[in-house]
Amino acid sequence: MVSTESLTTYLSEVILSHLALSCALLLAALALVRRFIRESYRIDGLRQKHVFITGCDSGFGNLLARQLDEKGIQVIAACLTEKGAADLTAAASSRMKTLLLDVTDSASIRRAVEFVSKEVGERGLWGLVNNAGRSIPIGPTEWMQIEDFTKVLDVNLNGVIDVTLQFLPLLKKAQGRVVNVASIFGRLSLTGGGYCLSKWGVEAFSDSLRLDMKQFGVKVSMIEPGFFKTAVTQRDLIEADLKRLWTRLPQDVKDSYGATFLDEYLKAQDFSLGILCSPDLSKVTRCMQHALTAQFPRIRYSAGWDAKLFWIPLSYMPSFVSDFVVSVLLPSPKDERKIK
């Protein structure tokens, strides 16, 4: 027989646990509602504000420039090529200004700063979007040479740092925004080469910049996209570069991976890029727009279902879990020397 006292105690514990759970759920719901309301507030006077965007030949930068232009914001779009600048000018209003910029060239950045300074005047620069980037060379670390790392780091990390430092005086004058395009691979390294390294670096640089600029009223946000169909994920370019890396390897290194490794690696890349890449670039540009126009922008924005539901949760798991997932996605070397 269960005593009345024991039953009363049990029921009390059940009721208290349900109350605690209900209170926790209520508080979580209120927090979400508060966040939604807080993030819905927008700044005023957008049509008088200038935004400078790098990497506007195609992809996220190109779409963002056109979207902001449609909203009446004063956009200054930096392209790497004359064709990219001409095509964007033809697709936008007369408000938009374009210029050529190589983010790996400090002199090119200085010329861009001079141009932007004349455009913004005493108002300063409201928004800087560091969007320019590249992915290749990318692949197994042993296949790389130091210049392969440098090619990517110079654009994705050093370029972001140089552009930001040179534009900071204009941003401080406007108490504006810095929006840096990182990646979910700024949280989780999937492969070798400079891409993951550079994006981890962008995250660290953005965090330190955010803390340093807080007292000056400059806000810093990071965009962490998953896989999207842009030039960075263009399969034919990635596959061609992987074949180039493989071709120059010494024969003993090739033997250590096995004769079929390259084909298996290319198939894995093709599968991942084909399945995961989203064609809807607006999922990323919406995050960029919010970071530029919200009174209370987020520090980090994840974009894409794969980032939200797979990569970012995976980045919080123990390393042995993420290592296992990567080992499933990518082939393992088959050392032919041992077989012989």
pLDDT higher than 90, residue 73: yes
Q: Which of 6-15, 200-209, 310-319 has the lowest mean pLDDT?
A: 6-15
Q: Say if residue 277's pLDDT is above 80.
A: yes
Catalytic residue, candidates 10, 41, 195, 301 = 195
Whether the pLDDT of residue 9 is over 80: the answer is no
Give me the mean pLDDT over the 178-198 stretch.
94
Q: Please provide the CATH number assigned to the domain covering 47-339.
A: 3.40.50.720
Percentage, residues of the chain above pLDDT 70:
94
The mean pLDDT of 37-50, rounded to a whole number, is 82
* Prior bond of 137 cis (ω within 30°): yes
Facing residues of 128 across strands? Answer: 52, 178
Residue from 183, 177, 205, 190 nearest 298 by CA: 177
Domain chopping of the chain, boundaries: 1-40, 47-339
For residue 236, pLDDT over 90 is answered with no
Burial-class residue 93 by CB neighbours within 10 Å (0-12, 13-18, 19+): exposed
Q: Whose structure tokens read 């088959």? A: 334
Higher pLDDT, 18 or 198: 198
Q: Is 331 exposed, middle or buried (0-12, 13-18, 19+ CB in 10 A)?
A: middle
Answer whether 300's CB lies under 8 Å from 221's CB: yes
Predicted pLDDT of residue 273: 78
Confidence of residue 101 (pLDDT cuts 50, 70, 90): very high
> Quick one: average pLDDT of 75-101?
96
pLDDT in tens, 286-315: 999 999 999 999 999 999 999 999 999 999
What type of residue is 155? V
Is 10 annotated as catalytic? no
Q: Can you give the pLDDT at residue 14?
A: 74
What torsion do the CA atoms of 108, 112, 118, 121 make, to the nearest 10 degrees? -130
Per residue in 279-289, pLDDT tens?
A: 999 999 999 99
In whole angstroms, how far apart are CA 86 and each of 63, 92, 199, 252?
A: 15, 10, 29, 48
Range from 176-180, 231-235, 262-266 that averages highest in pLDDT: 176-180
The span from the CA of 34 to the CA of 51, in Å, is: 29
pLDDT band for position 339 (cuts 50, 70, 90): low
Which of 39-48, 81-90, 286-295 is predicted with the least confidence, judged by mean pLDDT? 39-48
What's residue 8's pLDDT? 75
